[in-house]
Amino acid sequence: MIFTLVVHSAPYQSSSAASALRFACAVLAAGHDIHRIFFYRDGVHNASALASPPRDEQNLPAAWQALAEEHDLDLVVCIAAAVRRGVLNEEEARRYEKPAANLAEGFELSGLGQLVEASIKSDRVITFGGAR
């Protein structure tokens, strides 16, 4: 079965993003495919290269990167939501004349069309951290 995950929550304050990560691992372990993981709303903070949790705590952005690398996953961050919240790639940092870019490697900024396309292609679309 083909899954798409939608992550609406930032790491740490809510457990939703960590739940999404565990769900993604479980989906892959059960032999299913993940078409895309789409980060929307505060979920864009999962893609920050600057997150620096204590060494003995889970580093969610790094965990997403490792999972994506191992399974060749498509990690897409909503560009409008990200730019609003200060999660920028090099191109957007230049466009908005900001001093730095902080989109972690392995994540890609793109539009909501990627969520719609993923919804069409996937058998299941699961939202984490939605209703708020």
Catalytic residues: 78
CB of 62 to another protein, least distance (A): 26
Check residue 87 for interaction with another protein (CB under 8 A): no
State the amino acid at position 51 in one-letter form. Answer: A
Check residue 119 for interaction with another protein (CB under 8 A): yes
Q: Applying CB under 8 A, what is the total number of residues that bind another protein?
A: 19
Check residue 1 for interaction with another protein (CB under 8 A): no
Q: At what angle do helices 16-29 and 60-71 cross, to 10 degrees?
A: 20
Please select the residue that binds another protein; options are 33, 74, 92, 117, rule is CB under 8 A: 117
**Angstrom distance (rounded) from CA 90 to CA 123:** 34
Within residues 15-44, the interface with another protein by CB under 8 A covers 40-41
CB of 129 to another protein, least distance (A): 10
Whichever of 9 and 89 has its CB closer to another protein, that residue is: 9
Contacts (Cβ under 8 Å, ≥6 apart) of 100 = 88, 93
The tokens for 34 are: 């993940």
State the amino acid at position 37 in one-letter form. Answer: I
Full DSSP string of 4-27: EEEE-S-TTTSSHHHHHHHHHHHH
> Under the rule (CB under 8 A), what is the footprint of another protein?
6, 8, 40-41, 80-81, 111-113, 115-117, 119-120, 125, 127, 130-132
